[in-house]
Amino acid sequence: MLDNFFRPKSVAVIGASREEGKTGHSILANLINDKLVLAGLPSNGSIGGSKRGFPGKIFPVNPKSSEILGLKTFPSVLDADSDIDLAIIVIPPKFIPAALDDCAKKGVRSAIIISAGFKETGAEGARLEKEIVSKAKALGIRLLGPNCLGLIDTNSNLNASFAKGMPPKGRIAFFSQSGALCTAILDWAIGTNVGFSKFISLGNKADLSEIDLLEYLANDDETSVILGYLEGIENGKAFMDIAKKAVQKKPVILIKAGGTQAGARAASSHTGTLAGSDKAFNAAFFQTGIIRAMSIEELFDYAILFAEQPLPQGSRLAIITNAGGPGIIAADAVENTKGIEMAQFSSDTLDSLRQKLPPTAGLFNPVDVIGDAKSDRYKDALNIVLNDNNVDAGLVLLTPQAMTDVDNIARAVVGVIAPFIPLLWGQISNLSPQGDRGRIASTNSQKTIMTSFMGEVSVRNAVNILQENGVPNYPYPERAVRSFARMAQYVETLKLPDDKPVSFNVDKARAEDILKKAVDNGKAIILDEAKSIIEAYGFKTPDAVLAETSNEAVKAAEKLGYPVVMKIASPDIIHKTEVGGVRVGLKDKREVKKAFLEMTSKAKRHIPNAIILGVNIQKMVKGKEVILGMSHDRSFGPLIMFGLGGIYVEVMKDVAFRVAPFLRRDVESMLEEVKGFPILKGVRGEKKSDINALINAILRLSQLVTDFPEIIEMDINPLMVLPEGEGVVAVDVRMGIG
């Protein structure tokens, strides 16, 4: 448990300083709320909506001072006159090992290392960081940092950081690898009065990581929404396991930086983190139910809606507006956003709207109450719409016109929606056997409500009225729509059954034996052996005959039946097409004989030292061409790729990824991600392909690469998908081992 980090009864600041501007001074001042103390004010005065001043014991540690900020100072933690729960270390790196020894002797089991100068600086820093982590582990001390801002817990009135200000209390927890980003967001939170439960700066993640925090925050009663900024993940599998459990309790919204080459380089120099494949992160987030934000704006747009509003039953959105343009923009945003739809009003709703609104009003979704609408018209329209069983959520738009009574309209919205948001985070644990999952609306009376009061000066007070009453307001309707889509996505995630990965009956021993022999022989790339390995895992492959002469090639082709495919056979030629080593659709012996002579001579010309064993002859398989691939991601391990073959993958890069092992539904969604997938469903009168066999093939591949981590890359290209009921055939396979 990490309670001593967030709920300590006593804190030591090792490296406390008398000098303003020093980190050790700022941290101590934050703990005791120095400015208020010096001004003669009580240390629990209110700033930013939260009470200030840590109520527990504070021990400044500095051998050169006797008193700092009115507190007695101690030469060492060993000299403190009571137990210490948390140590905040702000001293040069070379002195930290000795400080940890003292902490262990004092019984300290939790420490925050603020100091920089570790793996983010290079090899020597990395060596020192490793030494400190090993020592802390041996001493039984958990570490946050190093190279971090610290942490804040608003419920404990604990500001164990050198950030300015304390955010208001709230239900959002935020962790970040970037301390500077934390300070910017803290300043924003205070300015906008957005409440937080916890702020944690991870720094280099030498010990505590996002995995530890996800597990802790998922079980934290003071937190309803978990936010995070990540640059990389060291143990992707453990992260996914914990994230799946956390998502079932509360939404997890993360922004992952370092997705580009430039960003990855910056992440590495920032915290020494290897960013990993962005495709792998996308897949991992999707498979675990994590909501990925692509910007800081999205991160907090989503968070505010989750923190303030109940989850809807479904994805049907109703829009009310006093201006046609914004209503159209919002409707377009809904139609262009996957996973949500415009609500279709019942006939009773339309009749009620017709009775209450003027003849010029627009009755169908979006409801246009016209520019001269006062609060009563908004009130009537919103009340009618929210009582429609076909509506799961409402978005109220307003543009400030000369006759618009903006503040009263805001009050009307607040008054109408009160009965529709009866349950908030933290009030549900005793009402539902599923804990926080019970926030999904159990009756039609529970709706998700958002507003977009557009403008700035004219709507400022109205926006405050809305926000003070738990109604999220977005400056533009598209941002509200996007946020609702993420909430609807989360609801669908919670509805998914707790399935397990599919396991097929395979010949694992045979595959293991083939792989062992290949490794023992020093092979890094295998071809024929790879074919045998996938056959052991249930893949069908075409019959092939090795021909050493052109006459043997003709005999083999006539035995297999035309048309045939010919491929150069050489352990030294991996990319056959680049040397003219593949011919397809050969229809008679003349074409086969000619192809044999051309292929062998061309291969020798391109790679003179290559050993040419001959040419493999295969019966040509007719079907839809797809590609299955696998690469090893540094964070998550085996990453499976699917795409249609040919131009779709080579030019259009129309592919999708999943982290192995995965579930059948993960494969189904993977196929749907590929834009060309409808071709396999049958278009323009063509037969439907065997999609079920394709799904099973991908699941078999997942099982194979999970069973054998020594397989580091793999291509099945092409995998021919035959008509429905006829299966799939792996025509060519290449495997890298290590």
Residue 582 belongs to domain with CATH number: 3.30.1490.20
Q: Same structural domain for residues 14 and 138?
A: yes
Residue 315 shares a structural domain with residue 443 = yes
Q: Is the peptide bond before 563 cis (omega within 30 degrees of 0)?
A: yes
Q: Which domain does 669 fall in, by range?
A: 624-737
What confidence score (pLDDT) does residue 270 get? 36
Same domain, 601 and 651: no
Residue 421 has what pLDDT?
65
Residue 554 within any structural domain of the chain:
yes
Task: Tell me whether residue 241 is in a domain.
Answer: no
Q: Quick one: pLDDT at residue 282?
A: 95
> Do both 714 and 615 map to the same domain?
no
> Mean pLDDT per 10-residue run, the chain (738 residues)?
95 96 95 54 40 85 94 96 97 97 98 95 92 97 97 95 90 92 86 91 96 98 96 94 97 86 49 60 97 94 95 96 96 97 98 96 96 95 96 97 95 88 42 38 70 96 94 97 98 92 95 95 90 97 93 94 93 84 94 94 91 93 94 94 85 90 97 95 89 98 98 94 97 93
**Rounded CA separation 43/34 (Å):** 8
Whether residues 597 and 669 share a domain: the answer is no
If residue 226 lies in a helix (H) or strand (E), which one and from where to where?
strand 225-230
Separation of alpha carbons 424 and 527, rounded Å: 58
Q: Are residues 604 and 680 in the same domain?
A: no
**Residue 670's domain is classified under what CATH number?**
3.30.470.20
Shared-domain flag, residues 481 and 601: no
**Tokens 């249609």 correspond to what residue?**
644
List of E strands, 138-219: 142-144, 150-153, 158-161, 169-176, 196-201
Find out whether 274 and 318 touch, Cβ atoms under 8 Å. Answer: no
- Helical ranges in 162-277 per DSSP H: 179-192, 210-218, 236-247, 261-271
Residues 338 and 460 in one domain: yes
> SS3 of 664, please?
helix
Q: Are 613 and 639 found together in one domain?
A: no
pTM of the model: 0.90
In a domain, 467, yes or no: yes
Q: What is the CATH number of the domain that holds 426?
A: 3.40.50.261
Q: Identify the H or E element spanning 595.
A: helix 589-606
- DSSP type of residue 115: -
Between CA 323 and CA 460 the distance in angstroms is 19
> Which amino acid belongs to residue 476?
Y
Say how many domains are in the chain: 4
Whether 519 is in a domain gets the answer: no
Which of 83, 116, 148 terminates a domain? The answer is 148
Residue 572 and residue 602 share a domain: yes
Q: Which of 620, 641, 666 is the last residue of a domain?
A: 620
Asked if the structure places residue 248 within a domain, the reply is no
H or E element at residue 547: strand 544-547
Looking at the fold, whether 455 and 548 belong to one and the same domain comes out as no
Q: Is residue 117 part of a domain?
A: yes
On the question of a cis peptide bond just before residue 571, with omega within 30 degrees of 0, the verdict is no
Measured at the alpha carbon of residue 464, what is the angle toward residues 459 and 468, in degrees to the nearest 5? 150
319 and 456 share one domain: yes
Q: What is the DSSP letter of 47?
A: E
Number of CB atoms found within 10 A of residue 358's CB: 10
Phi-psi group of 69: left, alpha or beta (phi > 0 → left; psi -120 to 50 → alpha; rest → beta): left
Secondary structure of residue 471 in the 3-state scheme: coil
Stated length of the chain: 738
Residue 15 within any structural domain of the chain: yes
Residue with tokens 């009563």: 376
For residues 696 and 672, is the Cβ–Cβ distance under 8 A? Answer: no
Q: How many CB atoms lie within 10 A of CB 113?
A: 30
Question: Of 574, 597, 620, which closes a domain?
Answer: 620
